[in-house]
């Protein structure tokens, strides 16, 4: 979808896989945000801690990709994980983002609030890992809720401990990446550990929040029956909070970025799942009673 309101950015998940989107994602961008001026390094660190500024990779307006309705998705910079299939390695380092004031972010949400309400959409914070900048994101969510705007957090949950219960109050929906059900596979795929994701999902469920789980299907990496079964078992612990599971086919849209950044790309020859494999995994989740897309 083309938009005159801002540039598209690539996204770590795999929903944006049509040709039109690809041509847009290569642009990337941060149009419409002014950087704060006159802040030295110490000022910036202080402002980052309080949430007066956040480091942002890019933003876009999309429909039915990062939550319900038409949404503004803000891709925050910085991520502690290093997923083998990451579509956005250029979001890994926070310092590579652009500092944006909280005021500018709130103004942007305010500008689109009528559109969000008309489409049952809202604001989504994604990344990178949006929970690396909890003060900025949670204050923006608070402002959005005060405007009556739906809020969505797209996260791996790895930094769930950065979010207080009070911060959770302002989240309506979480897109939670459960990257693997098996601990060793999770480590191999992401470089991190699995338990924080489970803990965060369970906290969300307890707090009465809605969850959409995302699982990236990579043949030979995340696709074993045992691994999928363990993902399903984790999802069961989220109870009624879990509305559905998105099984996202691995694709190679991120490969050019790895090349441009001269990072060794471990999935160079990966072709992505066949229709049969996808059907098997979908059926596995459905056998647990989940709605699967
Ligand atoms: S969690 Fe971080 S490394 Fe993993 S896919 Fe998302 S942005 Fe990339």
pLDDT digits (tens, 9 = 90+) for 216-233: 999 999 999 999 999 999
Measured distance between the N- and C-terminal CA atoms of the chain, rounded to whole angstroms: 21
Query: So what CATH class is 12-286?
Result: alpha beta
Per-residue H/E/C for the chain: CCCCCCCCCCCCCCCCCCHHHHHHHCCCCCCCCCCCCCCCHHHHHHHHHHCCEEEEEEEEEEECCCCCCEEEEEEECCCCCCCCCCCCHHHCCHHHCEEEEHHHHHHHHHHHHHHHHHHCCEEEEECCCHHHCHHHHHHHHHHHHHCCCEEEEEECCCCHHHCCHHHHCCCCEEEEECCCCCHHHHHHHHCCCCHHHHHHHHHHHHCCCEEEEEEEECCCCCCCHHHHHHHHHHHHCCHHHEEEEEEEECCCCCHHHHHHCCCCCCCCCCCCCCHHHHHHHHHHHHCCCCCEC
CA of 118 to the centre of ligand 1 (A): 31
pTM of structure: 0.90
* Centroid of chain to Cα 270: 22
Q: Which residue, by CA, sits nearest to atom 4 of ligand 1?
A: 83
| pLDDT the model gives residue 7 | 32
| pLDDT the model gives residue 212 | 98
Q: Is 126 in the pocket of ligand 1 (CB under 6 A)?
A: no
| pLDDT the model gives residue 2 | 28
CA of 82 to the centre of ligand 1 (A): 6
CA of 89 to the centre of ligand 1 (A): 7
| pLDDT the model gives residue 17 | 47
- The residue ranges of every structural domain in the chain are 12-286
Q: Which residue, by CA, sits nearest to atom 8 of ligand 1?
A: 86
**Minimal CA–CA distance to 78: which of 158, 171, 181, 144?**
158
**Ligand 1 atom having least distance to the Cα of 79:** 2
| pLDDT the model gives residue 26 | 29
Pocket test for ligand 1, best of 11, 66, 81, 265 (most atoms within 8 A of CB): 81
**Which residues of the chain fall short of a pLDDT of 70?**
1-32, 34-35, 37-38
| pLDDT the model gives residue 21 | 37
């Amino acid at each position: 979808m083309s938009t005159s309101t801002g540039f598209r950015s690539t996204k770590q998940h795999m929903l944006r896989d049509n040709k039109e989107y690809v041509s847009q994602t290569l642009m990337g961008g941060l149009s419409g945000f002014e950087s704060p001026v006159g802040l030295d390094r110490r000022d910036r660190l202080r402002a980052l801690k309080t949430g007066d500024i956040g480091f942002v990779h890019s933003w876009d307006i999309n429909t039915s990709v990062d939550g319900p309705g038409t949404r503004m998705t803000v891709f925050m910079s910085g991520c502690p994980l290093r997923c083998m299939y990451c579509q956005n390695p250029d979001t890994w380092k926070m310092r590579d983002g652009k500092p944006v004031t909280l005021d500018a972010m709130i103004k942007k949400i305010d500008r689109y609030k009528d559109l969000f309400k008309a489409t049952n959409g809202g604001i989504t914070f994604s990344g990178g890992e949006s929970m690396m900048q909890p003060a900025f994101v949670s204050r923006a969510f608070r402002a959005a809720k005060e405007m009556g705007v739906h809020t969505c957090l797209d996260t791996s949950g790895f930094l769930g401990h950065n979010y207080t219960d009070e911060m959770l109050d302002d989240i309506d929906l979480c897109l939670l990446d459960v990257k693997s059900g098996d601990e060793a596979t999770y480590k191999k795929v992401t470089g991190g550990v699995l338990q924080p994701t489970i803990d965060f999902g369970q906290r969300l469920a307890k707090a009465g929040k809605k969850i959409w789980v995302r699982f990236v299907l990579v043949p030979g990496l995340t696709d074993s029956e045992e691994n999928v079964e363990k993902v399903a078992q984790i999802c069961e612990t989220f109870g009624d909070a879990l509305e559905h599971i998105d099984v996202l086919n691995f694709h190679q849209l991120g490969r050019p970025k790895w090349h441009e950044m001269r990072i060794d790309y471990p999935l160079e020859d990966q072709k992505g799942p066949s229709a049969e494999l996808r059907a098997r995994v979908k059926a596995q989740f459905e056998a647990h009673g989940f709605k699967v897309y």
